[in-house]
Amino acid sequence: MDLLWQTAVNATYAASYMALIAVWLVMIFGVMGVINFAHGELYMVGAYCVVFLYAQENFPFLLAVAAGLIFVGLVGLVMERTLFRPLRDNPLGGLIASIGFLLILQTLAVFGFGRRMGHVPPWTQDKFEVFGAILTYQRLFVIAAAIVLLAALWAFLKRSKFGRALRACAQDAEAASLQGISMNQTARIAMFIGAALAGVAGALTAPLVSPTPYIGHSIIVTAFIIIIVGGVGSLEGAVIAAVLYAFVHTFVTTFFDGVVANIVGLALMLAVLVVRPTGLFGAKERA
C-alpha cells in the first residue's frame, strides 16, 4: 500500500511540472501557429537561472525562481519579436528558427556554465509522510506552485480581457483581428507567459534534477506527447493529458521498468491518435 501511495505522490509531482511546461506550448501554437521546439530550452534556461543565482551567487531560492520566471519570459519576448513575428506567415520558417534558437541557448549555457550538469543544493531537506508515502517540501512546493499557476492561468484566460483575446486568437486569428484584437500584442503576451511558465518549471525543479545544457530535449519530447494526447490547441486537454501521462509513466516505471514505461507512453499516444486523431480534447479544425 505504501508503494502505491509513494508512486501516486511521485506521479502527482511529475504531472505538475509536465502540465506547467505543456500547457502554454499549446497556447503558443494556437495563437502564433508556431511549433516552438525551443520550449524545452526555455525550461533549461529557467533551471540555469537557479544554478546561477541560488547555487552560485547565494540569492534566496524564491528570488532565483522569480528571476527565472521574469528572465525566461523576456527571452520569450525576444523570440516573439525577432523570430516568430517576422515569420508569422511562414510556420515552417518559425519551426526551423526555433530549432536554431534552441541550439543558441544550448551553446550559451555551455559557454556560461560548462558542459557538466549544474549543481543545485536543496533549499530544504525537510519531508513529511502522507499515507505512508514520503513527500519532500521541495516536491510539495512544485506541486503547489503548479496548481496555483495553472489556476491563475485559468482565471486569466476565462475572466480577463487579455485572456479572452488570447482564446479568440487561438480559435480564429483572422476573425479575432477583424474584431480589433492586436495580433502583435496577443502574441507578445502569449509568448511571455508561455516562456515564463516553462522557465518557472525549470527553476522550481532545478534542485530536483541534474540541469545540463541538453536537458530540454527530453522535456520537449514529453511535452509533445502530452499535447498530442490532450489534443493540439486544448489547454484543458494538455493538463489532463499531463496527469494521465505522468501517472501511466510513473506507475509503469515503478511496477515494470523505465524502458517499458516509454513504450507504454508512446503506445498511449498512438492509441489516442487511432481512436481520436484530434486528441482527447482537440477540435477538428484549428487555426
Partner 1 sequence: MSRKSLDRKISRRKFLGTSAASGAALAAMSTGLSRVSFADSHTIKIGFLAPLTGPVAAWGKPGLDGCLIWADWVNSKGGVDIGGQSYNIEFIGYDNEYDAAKARTGATKLIKEDGVKFVMMLGGDTWPGVQEIAAREGMLFSTLLPSDLTPDSTTLLAPCEVHPIYNVTGVEWLAENKPDLKTAAMCAQDDALGKPSVATYLAAFEAAGIEMVDAPLFFDPATTDFAPVMTRLLAANPDILCLDTCYADYVHPLCEQAFQQGYQGQIISCTADFYQNIIEKTSEEFMEGFIFQFPDFDDPALNSEGVNFVNPNEFYAEYAKRYGASAWSAVSWEYASIMDLWADAASSAGSAEPAAVLEAMKADGTGKHAFGTADWWGTELFGIDNALVGNWPVVVIEGGKATIKEFRSIPAWWDQHKDLMIKHMTDLGQMWNQRG
Does residue 10 interact with partner 1 by CB under 8 A? Answer: yes
Distance CA 273, CA 8 (A): 26
Give whichever of 148 and 259 is closer to partner 1, judged by the CB atom: 259
Does residue 93 interact with partner 1 by CB under 8 A? Answer: yes
Among 70, 77, 110, 248, binds partner 1 (CB under 8 A): 110
Does residue 212 interact with partner 1 by CB under 8 A? Answer: yes
Does residue 248 interact with partner 1 by CB under 8 A? Answer: no
* Least Cβ distance, residue 246 to partner 1 (angstroms): 9
3-state secondary structure (DSSP) of residue 213: coil
Q: Say if residues 76 and 192 touch (Cβ distance below 8 Å).
A: yes
Q: 248 burial class (0-12, 13-18, 19+ CB within 10 angstroms)?
A: middle
* Least Cβ distance, residue 93 to partner 1 (angstroms): 6
* Least Cβ distance, residue 74 to partner 1 (angstroms): 24
Distance CA 190, CA 110 (A): 28
* Residue window 24-63: x/- pattern of binding to partner 1, with contact defined by CB under 8 A: ---------x------------------------------
Does residue 219 interact with partner 1 by CB under 8 A? Answer: yes
Would you tell me how many other CB atoms lie within 10 Å of the CB of residue 135?
19
Q: 190 burial class (0-12, 13-18, 19+ CB within 10 angstroms)?
A: buried
Does residue 91 interact with partner 1 by CB under 8 A? Answer: yes
Cα–Cα nearest to 70, from 162, 197, 187 = 197
Complete DSSP assignment for 53-86? IIIIT---HHHHHHHHHHHHHHHHHHHIIIIITT
From 103-111, 144-152, 154-162, 169-177, span contacting partner 1 (CB under 8 A): 103-111
Name residue 134's beta-bridge partners. 129
- Interacting residue ranges for partner 1, rule: CB under 8 A: 3, 6-7, 10-11, 13-14, 33, 89-93, 96, 99-100, 103, 107, 110, 115-117, 119, 121-122, 125, 127, 134, 136, 139, 208-210, 212-215, 217-219, 221, 249-250, 253-255, 257-259, 261-262, 286-287
